[in-house]
Each structure stands twice: as structure tokens, then as C-alpha cells.
Amino acid sequence: MQSRDLWVDYAKAIGIILVVYGHVARGLQKAGIGMPESTFLLLDSLVYSFHMPLFFFLSGLFFQASFARRGAGPLVWSKVDTLVYPYLLWSLIQGSVEVSLSAYTNGNLGFGAVFQLWWPRAQFWFLYALFAIFLVATLIQAMAGRMALSLMLILSLVLYSIALVIPVNFLLGSLFTHMVFFVGGMSFSLYANQDWFAKGKTCALLLGLFVLGQAGFHLLLDLHYSNKGGAALLLAMLSIATVVSISMQLARTSRKWLLLLGTGSMAIYLMHILAGSGVRVLLQKVLGIESLPVHLLMGCLAGLWLPVLVLKLADWLGIPYLLSAPVSRWLRRPQQKLRQAD
């Protein structure tokens, strides 16, 4: 990866650390090993105010370059391989494990819910919503050409506004409230002065604004991340800008462990619930440990590094199709044979 793009992996690392912390902390709170409720709610809202918008933003960074290189059809098919396939595979794997171990965990899941794959469960909603956004963005890009970005920006703001005033279900809400960040990533890649974000003074300025913004949102306005609106949108954008600048500073250093987390962020996202929950069950049910610091530390370490270990082990053993598979080629092969027969 070129040095100009290296910061993206650092940003993914920051984002995935927040994702794992958020889910581990929520699991502990539900299991009765949590921190004081007010502290938990504040930290939870702070993390959730921007960590998933960050990933939609990062996903939008390379959309237009990918579209220009591949074209509409091949781009969509590639997302079947890298988004739809892992969504289906890991929804079934995680769901089956949760059902099998439901007596030892917080859940009461049945196999009926596991196989309702048209309705995403747990963390897999992100892959579902991201694929939908890719479909919409590809369609608009193919039809509108140079006007596509402007149209997508208008559409994303309209959808975000609709979600504020009209009750929508979880799936539509995920699409409506996150497309604006995907489009933000597209806009950043084309128009942002990245040299400005890479400056140390800019990073210090954004960090200060981040602290003030989070304090104002949560303490002064007494808002929660679920209170979507103009303030929440601005806070998320400010927080993303701060992460971008921090990541550009990190890209000048050599933090190999962070890069490992960044490049393995998809594997971590798919497997961290199983890893973190497994450690919680082991510590609490088997070893009888109820210490919050121990659970939080071990849960986060397991959620981050066990998936990386699995990924490396699978690569060493030559096990394919853990995170992606050439599903598009498999699906199109019968059609190609029919054309050849004609």
C-alpha cells in the first residue's frame, strides 16, 4: 500500500478497537459484571457516536476509483464475494454457536432466527447495510456520471432527515442514517486537502474540538448517540475527521501491531463476538472470576487477537474462503457455459 493510503489501515485499527470494546462492555453489562450505569452509558454513547460511521466513511474512500477501474457490474459482483458471502457464512457460524451455548451466555437464540438471513443479526447488520449502499451508489454513479456525487450527497442528507421524522425499521434506519458517511468518504477522497489533515497542528486542533464536541453533546446538551439529528451528524463528522488526522500521524511511525489490526479488521469484525463472549463464559462460568478490569482486558484482547490468529492459521494451513469467496464466478459459470453451448 502506498504511504498516502497507509493511514486508512490505522483508521481501521482505531475503529475496530472501539467496536470490540463496545461489544465486550455491553456483554459484561448484560451479564452483571458491568461498571456503574451512568459511566457505562456515557462511554457507550461516546463510542457509538462515531465508530460505525467511521467504517462507512472508510468504505466510501475508494468507491469511485473502484468504479472507474471495474465498472458497475464487476464492482457489484465483487461485493457479493466480499460482503454478501461473509455475511451469510458468519451469520450461520455465529448463530449456530450462540444457539449451542445459549445455556452459558446472555442469549436465548433459536435456529429459526439464525436462518432468517434476510434480517441481519448482531454485528452483521453492517455488511447488510454496506452492500445496500454500494448497490445504490453504483446505480447512481452508472446513471448520473459526473453529477453522481452531488446527487448522492443530496439523497443521503434527505434519507438522514427522513429517518429523523418518520419511523423506519432497523434495516432502513441503518441505510438512511449511514449513507451520508459513505458519501462523506467519497467526497473526502476527491476534494479534501489531505496535507492539511496530516499536520500535527491540525491533529491537535481536531483533538481539542473532539473533546469539546463530545462534552457538549453528552454533558451540556445531555444527548445520547441514539438522538439522531444535526448535532449527532456534526459530532460524528468531527470525530471521523479527528481519527483521520490521528491516523495520518500514526502512518509516519511504525506501529506494526496496529497495522495488523487494521489489515485484519474484517476478520476481527466477523469473529470478535465469538471470541469475546467465549472468554467471558470461561472467566465467569468456569473460573468464577467476576472482576470487571480482568473481563474487560481479556475480552478485548481475545476479541482483537484471536481472529487475527485464526486468519494467520488459516493462511498457513491453506484454508480458503474464510472471509471471501469467488461466489460471483461460481454463479456466472452456468451462464457462461450456456453461452458457449449456443
SS3 134: helix
* Closest C-alpha among 283, 271, 269 to residue 105: 283
Give me the long-range contacts of 155-161 (CB less than 8 A, separation at least 24). Answer: 155/179, 156/180, 156/182, 156/183, 160/228, 160/233
For residue 104, the model assigns a pLDDT of 66
For residue 170, the model assigns a pLDDT of 85
**Band (167; pLDDT cuts 50, 70, 90):** confident
1 pLDDT more than 70: no
Q: What is the mean pLDDT of residues 6-14?
A: 97
For residue 221, the model assigns a pLDDT of 96
For residue 150, the model assigns a pLDDT of 96
Q: Which of 116-125, 195-204, 331-340 has the lowest mean pLDDT?
A: 331-340
pLDDT, greater one: 177 or 166 = 177
244 pLDDT more than 80: yes
Ordered alpha helix ranges (H), 264-291: 265-281
pLDDT, greater one: 336 or 271 = 271
31: which 3 cell numbers? 451479564
For residue 47, the model assigns a pLDDT of 98
What ranges make up the beta strands (E) of the chain? Answer: none
Q: What is the mean pLDDT of residues 63-87?
A: 95
Specify whether the CB–CB gap between 292 and 35 falls below 8 A.
yes
Q: What is the mean pLDDT of residues 34-41?
A: 92
CA-CA distance, 285 to 227, in Å (whole number)?
A: 36
Q: What is the mean pLDDT of residues 252-272?
A: 95
Percent with pLDDT over 70 in the chain: 94
User: Which residue carries 506501529 as its cell?
Assistant: 255
Specify whether the CB–CB gap between 183 and 175 falls below 8 A.
no
Averaged confidence pLDDT in the chain = 92
Q: What is the pLDDT of residues 19-33, one digit of tens each?
A: 999 999 999 999 889
For residue 72, the model assigns a pLDDT of 93
193: which 3 cell numbers? 486537502
Q: What is the pLDDT of residues 125-140, one digit of tens each?
A: 999 999 999 999 999 9
pLDDT, greater one: 327 or 77 = 77
342 pLDDT more than 60: no
Maximum C-alpha span of the chain: 70
Helix (H) or strand (E) holding 150: helix 148-165
335 pLDDT more than 60: no
* Distances from the Cα of 256 to the Cα of 8, 251, 259, 271, angstroms: 14, 10, 5, 21
CA-CA distance, 98 to 88, in Å (whole number)?
A: 15
264 pLDDT more than 90: yes
**Band (105; pLDDT cuts 50, 70, 90):** low
CA-CA distance, 235 to 216, in Å (whole number)?
A: 10
86 pLDDT more than 70: yes
CA-CA distance, 89 to 101, in Å (whole number)?
A: 19
CA-CA distance, 198 to 193, in Å (whole number)?
A: 9
SS3 content of the chain, % helix, strand, coil (to 5): 80, 0, 20
